[in-house]
Amino acid sequence: MFSNKIILISGGTGSFGTQMLKSLIKTKVKEIRIFSRDEKKQEDLRRSLKDKRVSYIIGDVRDYKSTLSCTRKVDYVFQAAALKQVPTCEFFPLEAYKTNVIGTSNIIDASIENGVKKIVVLSTDKAVYPINAMGISKAMMEKVAISKARDVLTKKINCSICVTRYGNVMFSRGSLIPFLINRINNGQELTLTDPNMTRFMMSLEDSVNLVKEAFINGKNGDIYVQKSPAATIKNIAIALLRIFKKNNKIKIIGPRHGEKIHESLCTSEEMAKAKDEKKYFRIPADLRNINYDIHQNKNKISKLTEAYSSNNTYRLKVEEIIKLLKKTNQTNLKLIK
């Protein structure tokens, strides 16, 4: 499906972008464009991954001219550029808005202008029932993407826009597991916010497969969610200590700015209309226009349905977390020996 195609990954030097790049270079793709504003990460990636089909573009999704330039002659776009650290976004909410909302809007508009055929926008569980600036900006980003999906259908533009949501990605840069591993290796106490806090558990490979699923099967405005197990952060810490055969002390410090005890991947309203695609939930968009009275087909009244959250999905035991971490690590960052 990618043979002889030109693909853009915005935010391409991040954890997802790097993993997606490694997947794409195994195909007969014509060109992969890595678009980001971090020249150091681009240089590191260029040196570690030598492939003539990969080109590196310095730019910022906040700048429409940058997005217009990098999307020329592109077939498909994976929009992964984001500010995603919850406490950072709490202290700088306007910056989160500029990157996550305006930046995504720029990427989509530039892609449509340049005739891109398919766009997959990456979102997060924090966009569901958002209580922090990061989640609010991502929720707004989703609304912008779906609005533009509705618009291209109305105008009969040959472009499809889908969204994917996922929870905490194991071993991704700046996430909990690498943080804990670093403290274990340095003999430091493990600082946890709340031992009962739960998070969905996904691998980087899962995140790439989810995006590919949306790319292959998604219709305009669809949101794709992977069914995932969850774990408490205390059990994650215990699992890592057992893997490394260490006995670092655990210190509870309380939730940080904007943190939830549990995360959700689908609201109860979304679950009422979600399509079960075996490994995934597909949430179709309401693509009616605002003149509701003219529509012959009315949306069904939503039945009472439970939200899909890290509190009601399958909860991994410590032994299962150990097995998952070892399995995941073998195909990714190899932090655990």
Task: State the SS3 of the chain.
Answer: CCCCCEEEEECCCCHHHHHHHHHHCCCCCCEEEEEECCHHHHHHHHHHCCCCCEEEEECCCCCHHHHHHHCCCCCEEEECCCCCCHHHHHHCHHHHHHHHHHHHHHHHHHHHHCCCCEEEEEEEHHHCCCCCHHHHHHHHHHHHHHHHHHHHHHCCCCCEEEEEEECCECCCCCCHHHHHHHHHHCCCCEEECCCCCEEECECHHHHHHHHHHHHHHCCCCCEEEECCCEEEHHHHHHHHHHHHCCCCCEEECCCCCCCCCCCEEECHHHHHHCEEECCEEEECCCCCCCCHHHCCCCCCCCCCCCCEECCCCCECCHHHHHHHHHHHHHCCCCCCC
Residue type (1 letter), 269: E
Q: Would you please indicate which residues are annotated as catalytic (active-site) residues?
A: 126
Q: How many CA atoms lie less than 13 Å away from 96 in the CB half-sphere?
A: 21
Reference 335, options 176, 120, 103, 99; nearest CA is 176
Core vs surface per residue 258-268: b (16+ CB within 10 A) or e: bbbebbbbbbb
Q: Structure tokens of 323? A: 């097995």
